[in-house]
Structure 1
């Protein structure tokens, strides 16, 4: 059985037709799906480039192909997007939506019209992402997008959530197969052998995030670093990532006189270079205004880094309350950082605890659960002879 997977992510394509990714969803990502399904067709957005850059990872292969939808918005592009979706859904196979996303919403409309069973992988919260102060979105748009995500989950034949808070906010139907299971892929190389040992205060901070969305809270973190300096604690910060907001963030750093203390490292491919950057740091900070299950935080914990984060998504399931700040509260974030970096004993405790928690997200632990979910969904479709009619869809 083939899997048709809707993923609102922008891949890149070189002239030879090869599909690449800068960060996520490379060929290794699809291996767990291919343990159950014969082939995976990824429906996503594609941008043409002249050549692949060093560090980019190949996506397609003998059993994985990509069906491209337009990579930019607008009414005409939306119409073309719907045509592509209708075409790919005309083929037999299992269907899975990674939600929330516009692509998932477009695909759901077609699935609802044909009463075709599908599964969802719930990786975020539409309501939180589009909340005032997080993204510039009209209230009606937020309501519609949240309603769409709830309806997609309520009518799914199977639902996998990356965090229990998402299961509560977007419940599946009473007859759906459900599982709460992270999609973080921590290979053996990511897990440090032992906790760190601190005998002096920490000074080197690091944060990993895209610079394309203001809800990552990087401007708040920069202001918090400024407060630390005012308090006489000269911490440094390395920012790993890139995106359209980088010039704005660099200007903020210069305006605050932090040019010697904050380094913009640029985007790093997932793997050894990122591990090395984390290992050079003493403390990881996640200042986001919204997250579901923050992969960057778990990866930092796997390197036995003490961490400070905001109380978004599943963060309270990962860190102790004393290391968590209110989203958007610069003073509170600075206070949490100052308290931890100046206490070597607390740093040692946090390092050991974080490494232990991260062990629960190791690939050998999670992969059997993913496979069981995919196999259960495939077996369900075999029993109902997909594609077939389901009971009437639920209106939310």
Structure 2
């Protein structure tokens, strides 16, 4: 009898709601800290769509997914398969390993999970342009989403990524995105640091500042970002909700759930089971880069989400908003901090941290590709390394 290698959901089984962890965080002993600085909080209305601000603040545990979002999430390839890593198991360990195939969606990245909802709400709220800042994967996902909802799109990406991440740049340009390298001459923020050797390669935080400034300076333009905010993690729970359903189909539940720091929203439906006492022993692991070790070497306190101090201050693990991360291939990780939700859960002891160097993740990623037949992204290689280490234990 053939063994089951791939667990699929039909489009009829695709989730109708996102999961919001914020109300459940009180079960850790305290609520998620509110952002500081009333003026900057009020100014968010100048660059973030009202519907997304409402999601940032919502106290609802379940947030309905609009049909106009569900349709396009399905169109790009959701629900994605949960696959059994049988070849890795045979090579490595008797432990059972499963992995979620987020790479098969159109943009080849889970960033589409939040790009599509953000573009939907931005268009629905009456904006005509979306201005994004951050890594190249985020740019690819946002370019696709902008096309789906008839939005113009500008994207500001760290300068070094224009060549290093050229396939993503090309996809953005195919989708008629105006792609600008940061630091740039397009904003006052960019002009101030352009020419400084420290920032010549750019980074995610600086790109974020330039995108916010650009969105604030144009009528009918809204800012979009692929991580950090509560609403981005809310949207990313779609993958974890699917995964839970897929495990139910085979009557299993994971002992350990592993993700990279860049894609933590995936784990939140499992975190909920832990907090609610349904699965108190499930282990939640997040993998970070040794070269951007915000969770272990960053200060837990209030800091800005962006380089130029345009955002409110949030409570999270931060290496400092002016920190310029070293060049690593996992470009989405070149950010000075982590989402406040993740910091809250790490502080409460709910989430464990694994820290890895780039070269050891490359080695593990190549092993995975040769044996399992799937090439993991640079960011995913950190989670793959953590998973293989966990299996060996």
Shared fold, TM over 0.5: no
TM-score norm. by structure 1 comes to 0.28
Calculate the TM-score normalised by the size of structure 2. 0.28
- Higher share in helix: 2
